[in-house]
Structure 1
Amino acid sequence: MAKETKNNQAEPQTKEEQIGFHKGSLSTLAKERQELARILQIVEQLMQMHIGALKDLGIDLQKQAEEMTKEIKKPKKPIEDII
């Protein structure tokens, strides 16, 4: 970003300022990516815990998933027949 002077004219950044800006941005984004990966791991662990609890209760998620895909694959009425 260009600096504003007293005359409201943009003063161009030096090459060093641009380099520093981009390096800082990359550093921040890398930390954000690490945090996002950590959050995804936590969510995956929680999902696995719930899947395990459902299995212990006798719920077969694999069977339910197969039934859902069969329902999705069923041919649907053409829109002309519905109208």
Structure 2
Amino acid sequence: MSTAKKDDSQAAERVGFHKGSLATLSKEREELLRILQIVEQLMQMHVKELKGLGVDLVEQAKKLKGKKPIEDLLSKEKGK
């Protein structure tokens, strides 16, 4: 096989690989967006229920402002 044909074949193979990768990643992104929409709906349902129960989420957020994130607190516990 000549070098030119071999280069063309390799280039076509690489193009196919990247096109296939993009198609797969596009489908993965669509699925991720679908999952995020479901999570957002569930969060909104919980917010609505908490408001209905008289919980002031704005006040709760103000109290937590300035406190360390829970991830920091958990990592300290692991270190003990």
Scaled by the length of structure 2, the TM-score of the pair is 0.69
Q: 2:14 maps to what in 1?
A: 18
Residues matched between the structures, number: 62
The answer for unaligned runs of 5 or more in structure 2 is 1-6, 68-80
Identity %: 60
Q: 1:55 maps to what in 2?
A: 51
Measured in 2, the distance between the counterparts of 1:54 and 1:66 equals 16
Report SS of the residue matched to 1:14.
Answer: helix
The answer for unaligned runs of 5 or more in structure 1 is 1-11, 73-83
- Counterpart selection for 2:28 from 32, 35, 40: 32
More strand, by proportion: 1
How far does residue 15 in structure 1 lie from its aligned partner after superposition? 1.1
Name the structure, 1 or 2, with higher relative contact order (CA <8 Å, separation 6+). 1
Letter of the 2:16 counterpart: G
User: Which protein has the larger Cα radius of gyration, Structure 1 or Structure 2?
Assistant: 1
More helix, by proportion: 2
Supply the RMSD in Å over aligned alpha carbons.
Answer: 2.1
- Counterpart selection for 2:41 from 22, 30, 45: 45
Letter of the 1:16 counterpart: A
Measured in 2, the distance between the counterparts of 1:20 and 1:64 equals 53
Measured in 2, the distance between the counterparts of 1:21 and 1:67 equals 52
